[in-house]
Structure 1
Amino acid sequence: MTIAIIQFGGSNCDLDVLHVLEDVVGTEAELVWYKEHDLDKYDGVIIPGGFSYGDYLRAGAIASRTPIMDSIKKMADEGKPIMGICNGFQILTESGLLDGALTTNEYPKFRCEWTNLRVETNDSPFTSAFKKGEVIRIPIAHMEGNFYADEATLSNMEDNDLVAFRYVDNAKHVTDDVNPNGSQENIAGILSGNRNVMGLMPHPERASEEILGSNDGVRMFESMIEYISNR
């Protein structure tokens, strides 16, 4: 089993993800430059955070139009798990692999802080190691993490259990005060219709070891590995 970690010009969380997969989770992973076309040998993909192409045009817009995304879409169609973290989430929405869009934070500044997330579903390749409704602690680091979707899309997400995480307070309540970016309905992460593509703004790789302040994030990677093992 080998996971591909996609690198674009401006990616900066790729080595963090590599460390977690290899040294914490104990699985094989490879850094894959965006000019690669054939991803058939990989069992899953993670698109890490950063500022691909300096966020020119829109965050994730240029990366989403590179040829490697055709290979990632092929993997998604085959049922392989695809996770996009922060800038990776932006790339997935820009490429059409996930619904909605990510825009500038409601208060237009870069936010780097710890957040509480409520697990909205454990029925996915990325959340099976969690209990539905539990609160986990994962940090954010973004300027354009404000999730937007029209009412029909939001309704579809609710009806089909496609919201993965929401920003909440310590008592699990969804409030405006704990929404760090203005995301609709406090959405922090979502799933594709076939559930094998997930994007989230918080950084689970930065919460995968106790020394970092939380190891809640490692369960996303462990869930992904278990899903691949059981396919």
Structure 2
Amino acid sequence: MKFAVIVFPGSNCDLDMLHAINDELGEQAEYVRYDATDLSAYDGILLPGGFSYGDYLRAGAIARFSGVMDEVRKAADAGKPVLGVCNGFQILTEAGLLPGVLLRNKDLKFVCKTVTLNVENADTLFTNQYSEGQEIRIPVAHGEGNYYCDDETYAHLEANNQIVFTYGDDFNGSRSNIAGIINERGNVLGMMPHPERAVSDLIGGSDGLALFKSIVKQWRESNVSHA
């Protein structure tokens, strides 16, 4: 499986994402610039964390206008897996590929630590290697990770099982401790925690690796012939 790691001006977790795919997962990944005009050669799209365009205006607000986002939208419409982590999640909401918005943390402080996540939906292409209700440990590093949506949107997310991850405790103010959501089709996931930083016990834990294994498993079942 071949992944595109989208690099915006200000991305700083692109190397982590590349390492997770190439070295720990054993699949292919390569950097793709923010102004790329064709992503058709890739099976999955990864939007890494960082501070795209310096987080001016709002986090992700400028990156959504980058040329590559038209291609990201096409990939999502085609059913390809699209994962946005941290700033990538913010970009997906700004681009309208996921509902809601990421606000400043409730204490207006940048938070960098490993947190407990609850797997709320293990029946997605991103979570099929986890168990429903499983607790996992994943690092966070964000100043604008406070997920907000209106009541109607929240009810829709709940009704369609689009809430994939929640935090074990309320440290940033996110509505109902939401840490990650998917789109209605189930092929676009945005999450604030960094699974690519939890892919090896050597760096403190490997709970994030199952997320990437889930993507590959689903892709192979859908695209690889076993005849």
TM category, shorter: over 0.9
Match of 2:46 in 1: 46
Partners in 2 of 1:102 and 1:159 — Cα distance? Answer: 21
Give the match's secondary structure for 1:9.
coil
Residue aligning to 1:3: 3
CA distance in 2, matches of 1:58, 1:135: 31
After superposition, the CA RMSD in angstroms is 0.7
Question: 2:220 aligned to 208, 211, 229, which one?
Answer: 229
1:115 paired residue number? 115
The CA deviation at 1:221 is 0.7
Are 1:216 and 2:201 counterparts? Answer: no
C-alpha deviations, 1:132-167, integer Å up to 9, x for none? 101000010000000000001100111110001001
Q: Which runs of 5+ in 1 are unaligned?
A: 169-177
Give distance in 2, aligned partners of 1:44 and 1:32: 12
Residue 225 of structure 2 is matched in structure 1 by: none
Structure-1 residue corresponding to 2:58: 58
Aligned residues: 222
Amino acid at match of 1:180: F
Instruction: Give me the whole-angstrom Cα distance separating, in 1, the residues matched to 2:62 and 2:217.
Output: 32
CA shift, 1:213, in A, is: 1.5
Q: Which residue of structure 2 lines up, in the alignment, with residue 26 of structure 1?
A: 26
1:184 aligns with 2:175: yes
Please give the residue correspondences for 1:67-216 in structure 2 after superposition, counting only pairs within 5 Å.
Answer: 67-168=67-168, 178-216=169-207
How far did residue 180 of structure 1 move?
1.8
**For residues 20 and 38 of structure 1, what CA distance do their matches in structure 2 show?**
23
Give the secondary structure class of the aligned counterpart of 1:115.
Answer: strand
Q: CA deviation at 1:230?
A: 1.7
Identity between Structure 1 and Structure 2 (%):
51
Q: Distance in 2 between matches of 1:230 and 1:63?
A: 33
- Counterpart CA distance in 2 for 1:78 and 1:230 is 17
After the TM superposition, list the runs of 4 or more consecutive aligned residues in structure 1 that deviate by more than 3 angstroms.
Answer: none
Letter in 2 for 1:123: D
**Deviation (angstroms), 1:40:** 0.5
| SS class of match (2:19) | helix
What letter matches 1:28 in structure 2? Q
The separation in 2 between residues aligned to 1:158 and 1:183, in whole angstroms, is 15
Q: Distance in 2 between matches of 1:2 and 1:59?
A: 28
